[in-house]
């Protein structure tokens, strides 16, 4: 099955209207960061930041960004996801992008790229991050979230075989597994600076979520 067909099948089998994992934590992180960016942008040139929501799904956070005063574009690889987003949030600027290769977006056209629970699904991580960097303006901000796979979280999975098998089931669509350290190193490799990776959710020492912020280098 082709990558796009797999994504479409996954969306068609998912019940509509279900909140993504840790939506509240991710919403708070995203809005805090883009509002700070908004203040800085308006002070500099009087315009609202342009934000790209990569892997926007049903558009919950795309709509939140628009309500917060951003100029926002939502993109996804699945037409079914965008159909649901258009039905739930009419008027959003929503576009389909290919699972691999160049996105139909202009170079340096966004101040902020947000990718919530997306990078772990990507087959070609290098190509994907290259596109993120291409569409971000010099000095622009990348914000993302992804599941945490720290030592205690993995130990918990190892101690309960059914949970381990379910988490790493090859039929799942999670292809990459990040720790705070590996995510920070990856972003550094692709020319991002001022990298901050925060653990959130779950219990101390066994967090569920990574929340990352990084700035595209100017060169």
Looking up tokens 């030592």 gives 151
* Cα 99 to Cα 57, 61, 96, 111, distances in angstroms: 14, 21, 9, 23
d(C-alpha 33, C-alpha 90), whole Å: 25
More confident residue, 2 or 11: 11
DSSP 187-201: HHHTTEEEEEEEEES
Report residue 4's pLDDT band, with 50, 70 and 90 as the boundaries: low
Range of the domain at 46: 3-12+20-216
pLDDT, tens digit, 9 for 90 and up, residues 7-38: 787 888 888 888 877 899 999 999 999 988 76
- Total tally of structural domains belonging to the chain: 1
Q: How confident is the model at residue 167 (pLDDT cuts 50, 70, 90)?
A: low
Higher pLDDT, 176 or 9: 176
Would you say residue 42 has pLDDT above 60?
A: no
Mean pLDDT of all residues belonging to the chain: 88
pLDDT, one tens digit per residue, over 136-146 is 999 999 999 99
Q: What number of other Cβ atoms are within 10 A of residue 202's Cβ?
A: 16
Give the mean model confidence (pLDDT) for residues 151-167: 69
User: How many CA atoms are closer than 13 Å to the CA of 129, on its beta-carbon side?
Assistant: 20
CATH at residue 204? 3.40.50.150
Q: Give the pair of three-digit tokens for residue 40.
A: 């800085």
C-alpha pair distances (Å), 141 with each of 12, 26, 29, 102: 32, 16, 13, 20
User: Mean pLDDT lowest for which of 13-22, 54-63, 64-73, 81-90?
Assistant: 13-22
The pLDDT value recorded for residue 165 is 66
> Which residue bears the tokens 């100017």?
218
């Amino acid at each position: 099955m082709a990558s796009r067909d797999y994504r479409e099948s996954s969306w068609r089998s998912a019940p509509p209207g279900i909140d993504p994992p840790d939506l509240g934590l991710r919403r708070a992180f995203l809005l805090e960061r883009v509002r700070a960016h908004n203040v800085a942008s308006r002070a500099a040139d009087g315009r609202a930041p342009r934000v790209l929501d990569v892997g926007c799904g049903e558009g919950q956070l795309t709509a939140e960004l628009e309500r917060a005063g951003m100029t926002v574009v939502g993109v996804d690889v699945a037409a079914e996801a965008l159909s649901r987003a258009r039905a739930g949030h009419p008027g959003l600027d929503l576009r389909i992008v290919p699972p691999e290769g160049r996105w139909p977006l202009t170079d340096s056209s966004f101040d902020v790229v947000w990718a919530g629970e997306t990078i772990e699904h990507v087959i070609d991580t290098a190509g994907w991050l290259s596109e993120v960097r291409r569409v971000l303006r010099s000095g622009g901000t990348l914000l993302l979230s992804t599941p945490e796979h720290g030592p205690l979280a993995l130990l918990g999975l190892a101690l309960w075989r059914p949970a381990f098998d379910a988490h790493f089931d090859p039929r799942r669509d999670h292809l990459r597994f990040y720790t705070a350290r590996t995510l920070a190193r990856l972003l550094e490799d692709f020319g991002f600076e001022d990298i901050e990776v925060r653990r959130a959710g779950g219990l101390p020492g066994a967090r569920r979520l990574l929340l990352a912020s990084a700035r595209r280098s100017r060169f």
